Amino acid sequence: MKIIMLGAPGAGKGTQAKKIADNYGIPHISTGDIFRANIKNGTELGRKAKEYMDQGLLVPDELVVDLVVDRVQKDDCAKGYVLDGFPRTIPQAEALDAALTTLGTAVDYAIDVDVPDENIVRRMSGRRACVSCGATYHIEHIPPVQEGICDRCGSTLILRDDDKPETVTRRLEVYHAQTQPLIDYYSGKGILRAVDGTKDMEAVFHEITSILGA
């Protein structure tokens, strides 16, 4: 099963993508996590990506497309995968489709996690992310067992630099201008499914499993 997660920054794509990955036994591929790992490891890609990420802008398509197209051809993707944070522009979506067509396959579902803008800033300011494993929490809605500590790996939780309100506003503008058109793109292909992302985490996941099947 090949799944794409769509939705505004902070809509809950990552949260749901991790649950889908666990439930269906397929890898969760987050381009944001890949960039953050590269930044942490001081790679050339990380250095380039950071310039854009810090400003709330998208990293240029040419820095992300090949990376994802290579990743989805790894052995662990044979049964499918859930893409989180990619594609984010029409050219990225077209490049993915072209690559998958060459491989004789296609995306099965694009799941749009729908959350209005007014909920987003609050969600993002409460988001805490693990410095080691990328797990995310919310200080009110999805708190860790012990404040400031990751349930999964025991590392420290932080507020991401780009989750500060001024950058979130920019990211939302970028989302509407560059990413939201993908809703029509996948709708036109007949594979778009929308879920109400304002519900609680388990209720959203329930909507998703009823789309994907058990």
Report the residue count for the chain. 214
Q: Which of 38, 171, 172, 182 binds ligand ADP (CB under 6 A)?
A: 171
The CA R_g of the chain, rounded to the nearest whole Å, is 16
Applying CB under 5 A, among 40, 47, 79, 152 the residue interacting with Zn ion is 152
Does position 185 bind ligand ADP by CB under 6 A? no
Distances (CA, A) of 77 to 87, 150, 155, 185: 17, 27, 28, 24
151-174 residues labelled b (16+ CB within 10 A) or e (exposed): eeeeeebeeeebbeeebbeebbeb
Partner from ligand ADP, Zn ion, none binding residue 24, C-beta < 5-8 Å depending on class: none
**Residues in region 95-114 near ligand ADP by CB under 6 A:** none
User: Is 150 a residue that touches ligand ADP (CB under 6 A)?
Assistant: no
- Cβ atoms of 209 and 1 closer than 8 Å: no
Work out whether 13 is an interface residue with ligand ADP (CB under 6 A). yes
Q: How far apart are alpha carbons 180 and 185 in whole angstroms? A: 9
Name the site residues for Zn ion (rule: CB under 5 A): 130, 132-133, 135, 150, 152-153, 155
Name the site residues for ligand ADP (rule: CB under 6 A): 7, 9-15, 31-32, 35, 52-53, 57-59, 64, 85-86, 88, 92, 123, 126-127, 136-138, 141-142, 162, 171, 200-201, 204
